Amino acid sequence: MTKTKLFILFCLSIISLFVHGYQFSTGDQSVYVPQVLKLVDGNLYRRDYFVTHSPESRFSLFFPLTATLLRLTRADTQWFYFSFYFINHLLVTYAFYRLSLALTHNRPAAIIAVVLLSLPRFVAGTTITTLDTAWLPRFAALPLSLLTLNRLVLNQFFLSLYLTILVGLIHPFSGLLLLSLTITSWVWHAYESRLV
């Protein structure tokens, strides 16, 4: 990939960030931030039943990894979350471009797909837009999820399975969906191969 194409993707990602916006501690993140802060400092939220008994932080490596990095860097929580959101936003743009290119085999079409991703559209009648506006486990897993789909398109099933496991460690629900898709694709590919 040339520097010009990377620069175009970078610019599209920045424009997308401005169009979608960024929010801290709203929506799902208002539940997740206290869970991370509780892991950073065990004295916080001692009497908050919802924070201390919420199952999300027990099934995902997102929470302990975020808490560990936050503790080690001693960074301001809001800047820390924005920094990771920004980096991940760039990775999502690149991964989506690669997936679009694998599907279309057409660079202009892949760029158009990235532009369309940049438009803040609500997904399936929910209040979730095409790109999350906060640093969340599902958004953290999105670049790997897109890379997994890219590998499935290229019939690289073992790599897809490995990436699916990584996605599941970050966002278990996404991991389960990808696992079912990976297994189905693998079985379908084996079935098609026997027909030929």
Sequential pLDDT tens for the chain (196 residues): 688 878 888 888 888 888 878 888 887 788 888 888 888 888 888 887 777 777 777 788 999 999 999 999 999 999 999 999 999 999 999 999 999 999 999 999 998 998 888 777 777 767 677 778 888 898 999 999 999 999 999 999 999 999 999 999 999 999 999 999 999 999 998 888 887 6
Give the Cα separation of 168 and 138 in Å (integer): 10
What integer pLDDT is reported at residue 196 of this predicted model?
62
Burial class (CB in 10 A: 0-12, 13-18, 19+), 18: exposed
Q: Hey, is 129 helix, strand or coil?
A: strand
**CB–CB of 147/163 below 8 Å?**
yes
Q: What is the DSSP letter of 57?
A: G
The CA–CA distances, whole Å, from 16 to 48, 121, 126, 161 equal 37, 12, 20, 30
DSSP state for residue 58 in the 8-state scheme: G
pLDDT at residue 145, as a whole number: 95
Q: 59: helix, coil or strand? A: coil
Q: Residue 78: what pLDDT?
A: 92
